[in-house]
Structure 1
Amino acid sequence: MTFYDRTEELDALRTAFEAPGHDFFVVYGRRRVGKTALLKEFCTDRPHVYYLVAQEAETRQREKFVERIADRFDDRLPRIEDWPDAFDYLGEKLAAEDAIVVVDEFPYLVEENDSLPSYVQAFVDERLQATNSMLVLCGSSVSVMESEVLAHKSPLYGRRTGQIDLQPFSFAQAREVIDYGFETAIRSYAVTGGTPMYLLLFDYDESLADNIRTRVLSPTAVLYNEPEFLLRTELRSPARYMSILEAIATGHTTPNEISGATNIDPGPLSKYLQTLRRLRLVDREVPVTASSKKSKRSLYRVADEFLRFWFRYVEPHRSSIEEAPELVYEDTIEPDLPTHIGMSFEEICTEAVWAGVRSGVLDRYSTVGRWWFGGDEIDIVGLAAKDDRILLAECKWTSEPVGYSLVEDLREKAERVRWGPETRTERFALFSKSGFVDGLADELDDNWHLFGLDELDRLLSP
């Protein structure tokens, strides 16, 4: 399978390993994001011990760990009684030959023996520091990696020399994989999101519609049951979490709306939402001008494009999909897809704003996000507090060119955004799938930026 991108992460690992002294890296991120592929690519052509932990008895986990060490150093399998013995054995081997040691899915070890972080601490302090080797602990359970490896209370706190919180691909990064034209690439990204596994399951020689039919709507396809599998891997009783994700994906975004749609009382719902946030399946948003800690105007959204697509279109219609997937696509998904894509388009335009800031096409903004109050909402607002400058932008995934009405509407809403002094500098931007009516650009001054798909493509190109 082709390995894509992750240049910065590979460079960080390579630089660390090639520098004098030991290294202890922590790599984590949600499932399917490409952690294992990254580490295997890094280990290629370098001396290494790669151990993928399974969910099995502690004794067998330890036996396999020692077997991997013995295989790597072409050694006879020793008798090992406990984990301190196993790490002493590893230390002996690294004292003679430098290597990379990867423990993938480290949380499974902690699940069987919560003393593992203490054993690793002793290994790092007493053995690893005297070598030029590298230890990498990797895990998909973000909460376990943060609490048992990175947190202040962890025995391993302060030992790491680097960490990588691996994120899904941005749209600009995913373009390397999505072999469609720019507009169709946006539509495809709204289905797969930036999760490498999902991107690579699509066949870009086929149409997007065919990919959805055969790789998402087919009951035999991997993606058909993928979200349910992920939840069952992380949670013992996923039913309520599934109902919450479906509610959010279908437009119930406030706590009251989610509670009403799921019949879950606000108290328990808050705990469920916290768990989903910890698993990085749900994001909490507040208006960009508000404090995330103090604001009560929070909205929730499904954090992954594919999960949002699946809980919007697949989960509510599974019975029908089992009988007639083609009809579900033609009658339910295809007519509503522009609405779904419109939400993804806003995220892609936000990515483009940051790209414009970095390239100098747009002024500098330190904070970018959505804004809403009462019945008003603005898709993108950028804030430059130091310069009392604000950017206000709208994104339209429509079949008609954007005209003067959107300009006037944005100007009116800008007056109701309470931020900065009255003398603040206002900048405006419009993003449109179908371009703009003739003459609009000539009527606007230099405070306005207009981005059609061609301009957006250039902004997001390397």
Structure 2
Amino acid sequence: MTFYDRAEELNALNTAFESPGHDFYVVYGRRRVGKTELLKEFCADRPHIYFLAAQEAEDRQREKFVEKVADHFDDRVPRIDGWDQALDYLGEKLATERVVVAVDEFPYLVEENGSLPSYLQSFVDEQLQETESMLVLCGSSVSTMESEVLGHESPLHGRRTGQIDVQPFSFRQSRAVIDYDLANTIRSFAVTGGTPMYLTLFDYDHPLAKNIRAQILSPTAVLYNEPEFLLRTELRNPARYMSILEAVATGHTTPNEISGVTGIDSGPLSKYLQTLRRLRLIDREVPVTASAKQSKRSRYHVADEFLRFWFRFVEPNRSSIQEAPEVVYDGTIEPNLPDYVATTFEDVCREAVWEAIRRGHLESYSEVGRWWYGEDEIDIVGLAPDTDRILFAECKWTSEPVGPGLVSQLREKAERVRWGPDTREEEFALFSKRGFVDGVADDVDENWSLYGLSELSGLL
């Protein structure tokens, strides 16, 4: 697989390793985001021991780990009876050579022996600190990594010298992989999201429709059952979580709506939602002008574009896909794709707003998000509390150019946003897939910015 981007993450690891003294790094993030590829890229040109843990008995895991250490140092494999002895052996060897020790899928080891973090604490404190080597613990189970390695109650708390929370690619980063024009790149990103594995499964010499049919709608394809596999690796009983994700993906975004569709009472539902948030499968959102802790106007959305696509189009139609995938694509996916992509377009435009702020094309804002109240909704609102400045923006993924009506509508809705003093400074922006009708640019003043796809492409 071609290695893409991750320059910032690689730079952090390289800088740490090249600096004097020991290092203990924690690398974690959702499955499929490229953590293993990042570690392999980092280790490629320097002495390293890479150990990939597996779901097998503790004794066998420990034996394999010791074999890896012995093999690197061209040593006879010693007889080891526990993790404390295994780590003592590693410490003796690291005293003779500067090495990167990368332990991938660390949560599998903790599953078999919950005392391992305590053994590692002693290893870091008593042996690793006396070397120039680097220990990297990596894991896909975000909850385990956060509790057993990073958490306040973990024996390893405070020992790390750095951490990397590996995120899916942004839209801008994904453009290095998706080889389509901008409009089709946005459509494709709406299907795969920024997860590197999903991005690289598509063949961009073929149209998006063919990729969807081949890589998602085929019962033999990897992505056909991917979300179910992900849930089963994290949860013992994924059925209710599946129903919640499907509800959210199909437009039921408030707790009351989710409860009504799934039949799950509000009490248990709250716990399920918290679990899904902890696993980074859904996000909670409140109006950007509201307090995240106090607001009761929360909405939920599926945090990954591919999962949103799968629960919107695949999960409800699996029986039909088994029988006639072409019919499902032609009759269900293709006609509904524009409305589906419109939500992704808003996220892409929000990313563009931040880039425009960084470049000075727009004024500076500290918060950017959606706003809604009653029947009113604005796609993007930016807040600059220190200067009483506010940004209003709308994003239109439509087949026709935007006319002056949207300008008037946005001005009217902006008046109903209660934030800041009456003298606040207001800035406006419009994003349009099909551009703007003649005359729109002449009807607005210097406080307005208009972005068609060409302008958007320049930003991203």
**Residues 1:429 and 2:429 aligned together:** yes
Distance 1:227 1:381 in 2: 32
Q: Percent identity between the aligned chains?
A: 76
Partner of 1:40: 40
Amino acid at match of 2:281: L
Displacement of 1:111: 1.0
1:381 aligns to 2:368 (yes or no): no
Residues 365-404 of structure 1: CA distance to partner in whole angstroms, max 9, x if unpaired? 0000000111111000000011100000000000011111
Amino acid at match of 1:431: F
1:73 equivalent in structure 2: 73
2:278 maps to which residue?
Answer: 278
Partner AA of 2:133 in structure 1? S
Amino acid in structure 1 at the alignment position of 2:141: S
CA distance in 1, matches of 2:379, 2:306: 21
Q: Report the counterpart of residue 390 of structure 2 in structure 1.
A: 390
TM-score by length of 1: 0.99
Measure how far apart 1:60 and its partner are: 1.1
Q: Once the 2 structures are TM-superposed, how far is the Cα of residue 71 of structure 1 from its aligned partner?
A: 1.1
- Show the counterpart of 1:447: 447
In structure 1, the gaps of 5 or more residues are none
What letter is aligned with 2:51? Y
Q: How far off its partner does 1:295 sit?
A: 0.6
Question: What's 1:2 paired with?
Answer: 2
Q: Distance in 1 between matches of 2:150 and 2:276?
A: 20
SS of 2:392 mapped into structure 1: strand
Secondary structure of 1:96's aligned partner? coil
Tell me how far 1:144 sits from its aligned partner.
Answer: 1.0
SS in 1 for 2:95: helix
By how many angstroms is 1:289 displaced? 0.6
Deviations 1:212-268 (A, max 9, x none): 011110001000000000001111111110000000000000000000111111111
The 5-angstrom pairing of residues 132-143 of structure 1 reads 132-143=132-143
Letter of the structure 1 residue corresponding to residue 304 of structure 2 = D
Between the aligned partners of 2:219 and 2:145, the Cα distance in structure 1 is 34
Structure 1 residue aligned with 2:214: 214
Q: CA deviation at 1:420?
A: 0.7
Question: Secondary structure of 2:16's partner?
Answer: helix
Deviations 1:398-438 (A, max 9, x none): 00111111111111111111111111000000000000110
Cα displacement (A) at 1:109: 1.1
1:405 aligns with 2:405: yes
Match of 1:188 in 2: 188
- Summarize the alignment of residues 85-164 of structure 1 with structure 2, pairs less than 5 Å apart: 85-164=85-164
Aligned to 2:246: 246
**Alpha-carbon shift at residue 112 of structure 1 (Å):** 1.1
Q: CA deviation at 1:459?
A: 0.7
Counterpart-to-counterpart distance in 1, 2:102 and 2:231: 26
Match of 2:29 in 1: 29
Q: Deviation per CA, 1:307-357, whole angstroms, max 9, x where unpaired?
A: 000000000000000000001000100000001100000000000000001
| 1:61 match | 61
- 3-state SS, counterpart of residue 342 of structure 1: helix
AA aligned opposite 1:345: F
CA distance in structure 2 between the aligned counterparts of 1:192 and 1:71, rounded to whole angstroms = 40
Aligned residues: 460
How big is the alpha-carbon RMSD for the aligned residues of Structure 1 and Structure 2? 0.6
CA distance in 2, matches of 1:112, 1:298: 39
2:299 is matched by which residue type in structure 1?
A: L
Partner-residue secondary structure (3-state), 1:445: coil
Q: Give the whole-Å Cα distance in 2 for the aligned partners of 1:405 and 1:116.
A: 63
Give the equivalent residue in structure 2 for 1:311.
311
**In 2, Cα distance between equivalents of 1:163 and 1:276:** 23
Counterpart for residue 415 of structure 1 = 415
2:11 maps to 11
